[in-house]
Amino acid sequence: MTARIIDGKAFAAGLRARLAARVPSFVEKTGRAPGLAVVLVGEDPASQVYVRSKHKATVEAGMQSFEHRLPAETSQQALLDLVAALNADDSVDGILVQLPLPPHIDDKAVLAAIDPAKDVDGFHVVNAGRLAVGEEALVPCTPLGSLMLLQDALGDLSGLHAVVIGRSNIVGKPMAQLLLQQSCTVTIAHSRTKDLPGIVRLADIVVAAVGRAEMVRGDWIKPGATVIDVGINRVPGAEPGKTKLVGDCAYDECAAVAGAITPVPGGVGPMTIACLLRNTLVAAHRRAGLSDPEGL
């Protein structure tokens, strides 16, 4: 069998177009465009690339983008002061503080300072708790985008066994919550799991979010299973001095066995940015007292 390729890039482009189509009626009702503030502390080159693509996508969707670039030596208090100002700014619907932060800053304290209503990353404990108990929440973008791709590929997920590899607060745990909400049987596996290949072989759905390049091998995959590869690992490329991007799954091996699989790049990554805009539009509607935009 050769897996169907799940085209996250195309799905994300479609989602961004649907979002852009909803912006004019929001503007008409409120007199302003939804606004996303992105805060970058320091000059990490990968973070700069992500922040640039977020800005571009935000503007293309007709939303307002506020970029705040602070030097690496910015104090925690200065960052908290900026977050407080963004919380108070009515033109800002979403606040994203790019991670990782420099080591002298306590990221938990910063995330806790973001107004949960503007927490478009869904990282605040209030949103994590709301997701866990099934209340209206802002849901972390990478798991949300992964779920959208799964539902597009499989339709109803009810009763399927999903194995999530990785237990981070940003991906693994919220992914498991979303799959549980869809009535999957969910196993959360991680670096200490005994017989990880044996556990993964039980899965109808594999979500790989461990952050280790090409760790999941083809002979771990049940024939026909759907594989969502969340990993983004930069490794040495074919030519010396060049790098390339690979996922947490050994792509060629897994694609030979799976029913469907996301590539890296072009899979989950573009969905993360599209879902950030989706969350910004949703947050803007809720803050304005409007009902959630439908069909997103």
Bridge partners, residue 35, by sequence? 64
Stretch that binds ligand GUE, among 80-88, 90-98, 146-154, 286-294 (CB under 6 A): 90-98
What's the min distance (Å) between Cβ of 98 and ligand GUE? Answer: 5
Catalytic residue among 93, 119, 121, 248: 121
Nearest CB to ligand GUE, comparing residues 160 and 216: 216
As a whole number of angstroms, the distance between CA 154 and CA 135 comes to 25
Nearest residue to 184 (alpha-carbon basis) of 164, 202, 160, 165: 160
Residues 219-258 touching ligand GUE, rule: CB under 6 A, are 232, 245
Q: Show the binding pattern over residues 20-49: x = contacts ligand GUE (CB under 6 A), - = does not.
A: -----------------------------x
Structure token pair of residue 243: 């790098």
Binding-site annotation: residue ranges: 166-168, 232
DSSP assignment of 207-254, as one string?
A: EE-S--TT-B-GGGSPTT-EEEE---EEEE-SSTT-EEEE-SB-HHHH
Among 93, 119, 121, 248, binds ligand GUE (CB under 6 A): 121
Residue 123 or 220: the one with the smaller Cβ distance to ligand GUE is: 123
3-state helix vs strand vs coil in the chain, percent to 5: 45, 15, 40
Quickly list DSSP for 13-79. Answer: HHHHHHHHHHHHHHHHHHSS--EEEEEEES--HHHHHHHHHHHHHHHHTT-EEEEEEE-TT--HHHH
Q: Is there a catalytic annotation at residue 121?
A: yes
CA 257 to chain centre: 26
Q: Residue 97 interacts with ligand GUE (CB under 6 A)?
A: yes
Name the catalytic one among 93, 98, 119, 177.
Answer: 98
The question of whether 244 is a catalytic residue gets the answer no
Among residues 272, 278, 283, 293, which is the contact residue for ligand GUE, using CB under 6 A? 272
Query: Which of 42, 102, 218, 265 touches ligand GUE (CB under 6 A)?
Result: 265
Sheet architecture: strand order including 35-41:
64-70, 35-41, 94-97
Give the residue ranges of the annotated binding site for NADP(+).
166-168, 232
Is 77 among the residues known to form the active site? Answer: no
141-200 residues in contact with ligand GUE (CB under 6 A) are 141
At 149 the three-state DSSP class reads helix
Which residue of the chain is nearest ligand GUE when measured via CB?
269
Residue 249: closest CA among 281, 279, 210: 210
Active site residues: 54, 98, 121
Note the residues at the interface with ligand GUE (CB under 6 A).
49-50, 96-99, 121, 141, 232, 245, 264-266, 269-270, 272-273
